[in-house]
Chains A and B, each alone.
Chain A
């Protein structure tokens, strides 16, 4: 069986390439593949005939319970014969049907059909439920691709999407069912699941498993309320419709139900639900079949009705129901595929498919008319065709089963409607209404005529000579489904039985329907409720709702309003802090107040006042000044609390911010118009206060707890001993945590590059700052002051290792000197004073930082381990100095890049 699947897969990949080379006629060669597979299966007939089951297995993913196990029993065998046999005919027929397609398209069609054939074989041969699921999904996907084969047509795409959505939903249900079965039983073996059916149904997951299985089967077999995809799927090329959507794929649902009959029969509501859904499906489909205007639609609805009959038969108990199900499965596959072929030939010949406009085609398509008549007689259940026998079985099964007569009544009515449809689709296009069609585009060809004739003849031959097929397929199939051997007696004449009488009733009503079809058809079409309440519309509305819902959700989340994004982030942050604080379940602690000093208190309050003033400022300049006030107050706070390095840095930074942002403020409007409504402001104030309150509680609580100063103590002890520096802060930056500092320096360099690329000089600019009135004292003293600042920056850099200072502060102070020049004499002057491009300075600085670490590597220490040289009488020298110079240059270059870029851009 592995060999067959592998051959089928390989053939599906390779054979269609022939269609690209040969063109017309390639179908005959490609059809050899399914024909060969059919022969391979027939050669296994002796095994199946004896009632044996053939199994093969390979370990695939044992940890998941996923073994590639296959099993061939009678029921699988029947499916395999249908799939390969009809598959061969479909490919031959396609060769004559797809005449107006390019070679590439024909090749694609054959590829899809052969892949589908492989998936179908895999699905009915699979023993492991996960393997079956895989092939089941493959059939859904291939059905999607075949329905949407004409991908340029919007209707095809819609139909394909609908088919995929419905069947893939069913596939998900099947996945759920399979996983639940695996979780309950600990195995994914189908035989195990079926043999332990009562235990499975009695388990807590019994009801969900059965529900999921039923939904999976109903979607695949187009049962109400999931039936609507099948008529739409007729957008597929007719050979694909014949193959997938009538003969094989849609029967997978029936296959699943038949396999799991013991499981759903074990729950009390299983059989009633199946029978009810089947009856409902049959009624809806029969009415719609009479309403259908279109040849293929009529066939599609009659297929749904037939699937309903099959599902009904699976739902009924008793051996006769199984015999009837298997017999009808075979009969339906034969006659319905033939009818689809005939419908395709009519469409191909005339380009029309409306039943009311077609007529008199027997003149042009005589052999097709014969095939259609044969298949229709079988469908109508007229002896001696196989359809007659299967209908006898159907009535027998219903009479024998323990059910009420309601399903029987439905079956009689629906069968009568089927007789009517069969009569209409044969008589109207081919034999009645002579002269309606006066010419055809394409005549009959061998490819178009042979497949339906073969199928119609097969239907006749089997009923007249049923021995072989009964022995090798039907009897083993019934035994496989029913669980024990059942006598299957196929013969046309059983004598005068209740079944024969019912058949007579059916045919009589059917004949009346044919006679009065036009009236019934028009009466039914006039009822608009069918269209109004069609589930298809529900599906359309659901899809539209989904699209508009997601659009609304996107607009709600992705609205483009920065303020609302920030509100969301802040509220989420505050909620997280509050939640995690509450989760700890301890009250926040209060630190000792300690001694209060007046000066620092005043300083802190000034800072707070600056922040409050910034929020209330009417002008942006005032807001900038207020912000700067807070910054300077913080600098003093640092100063009074033992952080001179920070104070120095903060002073310089605040100064530079004022200088640089002034350039921005020169360009943009200074007015500060209200951008928030009163309500928004109140909301924002509430959010800001909550975050501030939470932060306050968190920080106060943190300060009240013991201070873990292990790292600080280590740095304090080792700073001089290991790194020869007195200023611990600087030693941490350039030595202990030099790698972090390297990263931060890089960030600043990247910021400089970003600013430079955003503020690239475009065209000539004139220097507004130079024209601005500059106070005399600044112009007179600027140069000297700048030199002093530059000198100070070098001193700060040099002494940083032992006393407050270092590369960061030094670089900032140096930049301040250039800012001073720019303010006093204009940007051009400052740029000339720097000599180099700012980014070049950044580059040199980054290089220094990177190279200073190499010395450590040279002596076998890790990167950025600093080395020292202490000549007697001279100051100690170390590679930390190179590192710090690098930092200095990067900061200087970056700030100059900001400064020059901003001032130039602002003065344009």
Chain B
């Protein structure tokens, strides 16, 4: 199972990267969401795929018996929520970009990088 999950996780990351390299901001956003999903799966493998027992101490017991790795799960749980917030913030930015620049093409979003002609900036020179 581990090899299969690793294959699927790596393939999801690959698909996500392909989408992120697109210049359509919405595709990039979906790619980012996909990237978080793939990364979480790969992270999950780090805790090893051994059992379907949840890391919950049974009633009456004092210590955890054989169960899945809880540390990795705690990590992934916050990663899911943070990845979600990241995706949504990116969505907010895409929406704002569409509202102000009327484009979702990364190539056309240049107002932050355009600095004007060199001459116009150096008005003081000569």
Q: Chain A interface (Cβ within 8 Å of chain B)? A: 154, 558, 560-563, 566-567, 570, 590-591, 593-597, 600-601, 604-605, 607-608, 611-612, 614-615, 620, 623-624, 627, 630-631, 634, 637-638, 640-646, 649-650, 653, 656-657, 660-661, 663-665, 667-669, 672-673, 675-676, 684-685, 687-689, 691-693, 695-696, 699-700, 702-703, 707, 709, 711-712, 715-717, 719-721, 725-729, 732-733, 737, 740-741, 744, 747-748, 751, 754-755, 758-759, 802-804, 806, 808, 812, 891, 894, 898, 901-902, 905-906, 908
Query: Does A905 lie within 8 Å of B21, measured CB to CB?
Result: no
Besides the known contacts A594-B2, A641-B68, A699-B45, 18 further A-B residue pairs in the complex with CB atoms under 8 A apart:
A596-B1, A600-B1, A620-B30, A623-B27, A642-B55, A643-B54, A646-B40, A675-B105, A700-B6, A707-B47, A709-B69, A716-B67, A717-B64, A726-B57, A732-B70, A741-B78, A755-B88, A802-B56
Which residue of the partner chain A has the closest CB to B97? A668
Is there contact, CB below 8 Å, between A645 and B77?
yes
| Chain A residues closer than 8 Å to B20, beta-carbon distance | 566
Find out whether the CB atom of A634 lies under 8 angstroms from the CB atom of B56: no
Can you identify 23 A-B contacts, CB atoms within 8 angstroms? A560-B110, A593-B1, A600-B1, A605-B8, A611-B16, A614-B31, A642-B51, A642-B54, A642-B68, A650-B80, A661-B30, A668-B95, A672-B26, A675-B107, A688-B17, A692-B13, A692-B14, A700-B3, A726-B56, A728-B57, A728-B67, A744-B81, A905-B92
- Inter-chain contact A696/B10, CB cutoff 8 Å: yes
Q: Are A675 and B69 in contact (CB-based, < 8 A)?
A: no
CA distance A693 to B80 in the complex (A): 24
Knowing A693-B10, A717-B64, A747-B85 touch, does A676 contact B23 (C-beta < 8 A)? yes
B34–A562 touching, CB < 8 Å: no
Main secondary structure of the interface of B (DSSP, over half): helix
How far does the alpha carbon of A671 sit from the alpha carbon of B78 in the complex, in Å? Answer: 33
**A156 → chain B, closest Cβ, in Å?**
12
Q: Which of A638, A689, A905 contacts B14 (CB 8 A)?
A: A689
Q: Are B77 and A733 in contact (CB under 8 A)?
A: yes
B117 CB-CB contact with A under 8 Å: no
Q: Which of B33, B71, B91, B126 is A715 in contact with, Cβ under 8 Å?
A: B71
Taking the closest CB of chain A, its distance from the CB of B3, in whole angstroms, is 6
Chain A residues within 8 Å of B7, by CB: 696
- Residues on A with C-beta less than 8 A from B5 are 604, 637
**Closest residue of A by beta carbon distance from B17:** A688
A668 touches B98 (CB 8 A): yes
Our pick among B4, B88, B106 for the contact of A751 (Cβ within 8 Å) is: B88
Task: Knowing A664-B94, A702-B46 are in contact, say whether A607-B8 is a contact too (CB < 8 A).
Answer: yes
B60-117 residues with Cβ-Cβ distance < 8 A to A are 61-64, 67-74, 76-78, 80-89, 91-96, 98-99, 104-107, 110, 113
Given known contacts A700-B3, A703-B2, A712-B71, is B34 in contact with A754 (CB within 8 Å)? no
**In the complex, chain A residues whose CB is within 8 Å of the CB of B82:** 744, 747-748
**Complex CA–CA separation, A902 to B80 (angstroms):** 20
Contact, CB under 8 Å: B91 / A664: yes
Q: Does B52 contact A (CB under 8 A)?
A: yes
Question: CA A304 – CA B12 in complex, angstroms?
Answer: 72
CB nearest to A564 among chain B residues: B21
Nearest neighbor of A613 in chain B, beta-carbon distance = B15
Inter-chain contact B77/A649, CB cutoff 8 Å: yes
- Is the Cβ of A630 less than 8 Å from the Cβ of B69? no
A634 B14 Cβ-Cβ under 8 A: no
Cβ of A472 to closest chain B Cβ, rounded Å: 51
Would A758 and B4 count as touching, CB distance under 8 A?
no
| Cβ contact of B34, chosen from A614, A656, A665, A668, cutoff 8 A | A614
B19 touches A615 (CB 8 A): yes
Asked whether B6 lies within 8 Å of A729 as measured between CB atoms, the reply is no
Interchain CB contact under 8 A, A154 and B126: yes
Cα–Cα distance between A669 and B98 once the two chains are bound (Å): 9
- Within 8 Å CB of B88, what residues of A? 657, 660, 751, 755, 898, 902
The interface residues of chain B lying within 8 Å CB-to-CB of A672 are 24, 26-27
8 closest A-B pairs (Cβ-Cβ)? A692-B14, A716-B64, A642-B68, A696-B10, A675-B23, A728-B70, A688-B17, A611-B15
Whether the pair A808, B78 counts as a contact (CB closer than 8 A) is yes
- Assembled-state Cα–Cα distance A719/B74 (Å): 13
| Contacting pair B84 A728 (CB below 8 A) | no
Q: Which residues of A contact B77 (CB under 8 A)?
A: 645-646, 649, 729, 733, 806, 808
Whole-angstrom CA separation of A608 from B22 in the bound complex: 20
B68 near A643 with CB under 8 A, answer yes
With contacts A733-B78, A755-B88 known, is A657 near B14, CB below 8 A? no
* Residue pair B126, A642 in contact (C-beta under 8 Å): no
Provide the bound-state CA to CA distance between A563 and B23, in Å. Answer: 7
A703 to B10, CA, bound (A): 14
Given A604-B8, A611-B11, A719-B57, verify A664-B95 contact (CB < 8 Å).
Answer: yes
Return chain A residues, CB-CB under 8 Å to B3.
590-591, 593, 700, 703
Distance in angstroms from B111 CB to nearest chain A CB is 11
- State whether A729 touches B27 (Cβ < 8 A): no
Cβ distance A678 to chain B, nearest Cβ, rounded Å: 14
Contact between chains at B71 and A748 (CB < 8 Å): no
Which B residues touch A594, using CB under 8 A? 1-2, 49
